[in-house]
Amino acid sequence: MNYLLLPVFLVLPLGLLFIACQIQGGDWRRSILSAALFWAAILTAMTEVLSVFSLISPPYVLGGWLIVNLLMIFYLSRLSSPRQVPQQLQELARDWSKTLEDNPFIRFCLICLLPLLGLSLLVALIAPPNNWDSMTYHMARVMYWMQHQSVAHYPTHNPRQLDSPPWSSFAIMHLQLLSGGDRFANLVQWSSMAGCLVGVSLLARQLGAGLGGQALATVICATLPMGLLQSVTTQNDYVLSFWLVCLSYNVLRLAQGQTDARTFIEFGLALGLALLTKGTAYIYGLPLVITGLLLGLKSLGVRSLKPMMVALSIPVVLNLGHWMRNYQVFDKPLGISGDITKNTLFTPAAIISNTVRNISLHLPIPYEPANRFIKRLIVHIHDLLHLDASDPRTTFPGTLFDIKPMANSIPIYLSEDFTGNLIALLLFFMSFILFIKERKLSRRPILLIYLSALILMGLLYNSLLAWQPWASRLHLPFFVLASAFIATILEQYFSGSSKLTSVLVFLLSLISMPYLLFSSPRPILGSRLFSTSIPSVISQPRIDGYFNVNQNFRSPYLKAIDTANQFKCYEIGLDALGSYPSNVNYWEYPFFRISKSSHSAKSIRYKPIRVKNPTEKALSSNFDFIPCAVFSIGPDTLEQEFTVQDETLGSVSYTKVLESDLVDVYTMVNSSSRPKE
C-alpha cells in the first residue's frame, strides 16, 4: 500500500467524530471543534499506551487507528441508520448554499479567503520543515521517539526536546509513521489554522455578532501575518490557539447558562490539550479557566462542583504522562527550559516596560525613520520609568531591546520569527475604544467578560515572561482570540456599512498575500521588491529546503553524512560542543532526514554523547550501542582524538577524519569493551 495513503486512517476518525456530533444535534461548527477535541484525546491516549510497551512503530500505530475506525463505525451504526448520515450531510450542504446565496458579503469573504487557504495549503504540502525550532527540537524529538519506539525521555544536549509540551509533535509523529516521511508534518499547524477560522466565527456568534460579523472575524484571523507564516511550519502556536479557541467557546457557553455535561467535558479537553501543546497555555488559559469556573458556579451553584471536578481532572489525565517524565528527569513537572524566559522583576514599572516593548514588536513599518522614532520613544518611556530598556531582569538573557531593522530590499518582515500583526493590533485598540465609548456595547455582559479575559491574558503575559525580540510569535493566540471581539464590535458599530467592511476585508486579504508568496524561508515566487536568494519551494529540491533558514549549514551536513556512508557507519554519536544552555540551538533534524534519503542508511541510529545537563540521567535502553562515528557540531573544534568513557559500554576512542566549519566527523579507532551480543 502506498505510504502516502495511510494517513487517511488517521484522519478518517476525525470525520466520523464530526458525523457523530452532527447526528446528536448542534451547530456544524461546534461539531468540528468537538470532533477535534475527542480525536486529539484519542491520539494522546494511543501514544502514551503504545509508548509504555515501546510499540510506537508503523504497524502498531496503523493497527491502533484501524481499531479506532472500526469502533467509530460501530458507534455510528448504533446512533443512526446508514441512510440518515447522507441526508444530514445533504441538509448541511443545502444550508450552506442558501447562506451563500442570501449573503453577498459572506460570498465576498469566501472569495477573498480561498486564495489564502489554497496557497498556504500548497506551501504546507510542498515546503519541508525548516523553522529553526523545528530543526533543533520540534522535529528532532519526533525522530528520536520513532527510533526508540517510545516517547520516554532520553539523554540529549537540548532539554527542550524532552520537557517542552509535546502534543503537536505527537500528531506529527503519527503522520510520519504512517506516511514514511515529513511531507504532511506542516499540516498539523495548517489544520489548526483552519480550525481557528471556524472557531472564531463561532466565538463571534456567541458574543452577539451576526453572520456578517462572524465572517469578518474569520477574515481578520485568516489574514494575521504571523498566522499565515506559522500555518505552514511545524511550530505550535497555531495549535495552541485552536485549543484556546475551543476553551473560549465553552467558557462563553457557560456564560450563557449552557451547563450541559458535554460543555464541561470539552472545557476540560480543551484545557488539557492546550497545556500539552505549549507552556504559554498556562498564561493564556488561566483567565479562561477562572472565568469558566466562576460562571459555572454562578449558573449551577454547589451543583457545579461535580462537573467542575470532572472538567479539571481531564487536563491532569492528559498531561500526567508528560509531567511524570519531566519530574523523573528534571525534578519539576514543567521541566527547566522555560526557566530562562521568566521575569525576575515584578513591579508596575516592569509590567509597563514589557507591555510597551511587546507592543513595539508589532509596530515596525516599511519606513525606517518611523521605526527609529518608535525605538527612541520607548527608550524615553523607560527613562521615565527609571528602567533600562534592556534590563536583564525583564529581558531574555543575551538580548538587547531593539526594533529589528528591515533589509533594504525587503520592506516587511517575512519570517515567522519577527513578523508582527500591526493592523490587527490597531483594530483591537480601535474596538476597545468603541466598546468603552458606546453604551449599547459596554452594557453587554458577554462582551465585558470576554474583553476582561483578553486583558488579563495580556497582563499575565507581560508580568511573567521576559521580553524577547522574537516573541511576536508567542502573541498569536491573543490575536486569534481577539479577532472575534474586533469583528463583533466593528459589526455593531458600523451596522449598515457593508461597503466599509467589504473594503476592510479586501485590504486585509491583499496586504496578507506577500507573507505567503514571498516568505523568506519558503517563497512561492521571486520578486525584485521582495528579493530573496532562495528559489521557489515549488522547484527547489526538498533536501535543499531544509536549509533555507541558514544555507551555510547545507554543505557541512551533507559532507558529514557522506563521510559516514563511506565508512559504512550507520550508528552515529552527536556531540554538541559547549555546555547547556549555550549548545541547545544546534540542528539535529537534518541529520535524520538526509540519512533517511540515502538508500544505504535505512537502519541509521543517532545517539547524543557526552551530555552534560540534567537529561544525562535519563537512561535509555535504545542508546545501548557504541557509535562507530561521531558528528561534532559547533563552530569550535575538538582535539584530533578523544575518548568516551561509559559505565555500561566501556572506553571508546575516536579520531578525526573530516573537519569543517560546522561539523567535524570522527570514527572509532579502538574499544576496550563492546556490548554483548
* pLDDT tens-digit series, residues 50-59: 999 999 999 9
Q: Would you say 140 and 589 are in contact if contact means Cβ atoms under 8 Å apart? A: yes
User: Largest Cα–Cα distance in the chain?
Assistant: 83
Cβ 173 vs Cβ 57: under 8 Å? no
Q: How far apart are CA 276 and CA 466, in angstroms?
A: 22
Cis, peptide link before residue 581, omega less than 30° from 0: yes
Q: Distance between CA atoms of 645 and 246, rounded to whole angstroms?
A: 50
Q: Which residues on adjacent β-strands are paired with residue 572?
A: 606, 629
The set of cell numbers assigned to 593 is 532526514
C-alpha cell at 419: 513578523
Number of C-beta neighbours around residue 617 at 10 A: 12
Please provide the distance, in angstroms rounded to a whole number, between the alpha carbons at the two ends of the chain: 35
Q: Please give the pLDDT value at position 532.
A: 62
Residue 383's alpha-carbon distances to 390, 391, 399, 417, in angstroms, are: 12, 12, 19, 28
CB contact at 8 A, 532 and 526: yes
Write down the domain spans for the chain. 1-102, 550-671
C-alpha cell at 401: 531591546
Phi and psi at residue 467, to the nearest 5°: -70, 140
Cα separation, 276 vs 390, whole angstroms? 32
The three grid cell numbers given for residue 271, joined into one nine-digit string: 484545557
Enumerate residues 6+ apart whose C-beta is below 8 A from 111. Answer: none
Q: What is the pLDDT of residue 581?
A: 62
Within 8 A by CB and 6+ apart from 279, the residues are 164, 165, 334, 338
Nearest to 152, CA basis, from 568, 615, 571, 610: 615
Residue 594's alpha-carbon distances to 441, 555, 561, 623, 635, in angstroms, are 57, 12, 7, 21, 21
Q: What is the pLDDT of residue 647?
A: 63
What kind and span of H or E run contains 90? helix 84-102
653: left (phi over 0), alpha (psi -120 to 50) or beta: beta
Side-chain half-sphere CA neighbours of 513 within 13 A: 11
Which residue, chain included where needed, has cell 540542528?
587
pLDDT of residue 300: 83
| Residues contacting residue 321 through CB under 8 Å, at least 6 positions apart | 48, 51, 151
Q: Do residues 510 and 458 lie in contact, with contact meaning Cβ atoms separated by under 8 Å?
A: no
- CA atoms of 601 and 619, how far apart (whole Å): 25
Name residue 656's amino acid.
K
pLDDT digits (tens, 9 = 90+) for 132-146: 999 999 999 999 999
Stretches in the chain below the pLDDT threshold 70: 1-3, 82-83, 407-411, 496-497, 526-532, 577-583, 597-602, 620-621, 635-638, 646-649, 670-677
What is the residue whose three cell numbers read 455593531?
Answer: 492
Give the full edge-to-edge strand order of the sheet including 650-658. 605-608, 571-576, 629-633, 663-671, 650-658, 641-646
**Grid cell listed for 170:** 505527537
Cell for 584? 541547545
List, in sequence order, every residue forming a beta bridge with 643; answer none if it has no partner: 653
DSSP label at residue 136:
I
Residue type, 78: R
Based on C-alpha coordinates, what's the Rg of the chain?
Answer: 26
- Give the three-class secondary structure for 669: strand
Helix, coil or strand: residue 671: strand
Instruction: Using alpha carbons only, give the angle 501, 503, 504 rounded to the nearest 5 degrees.
Output: 60
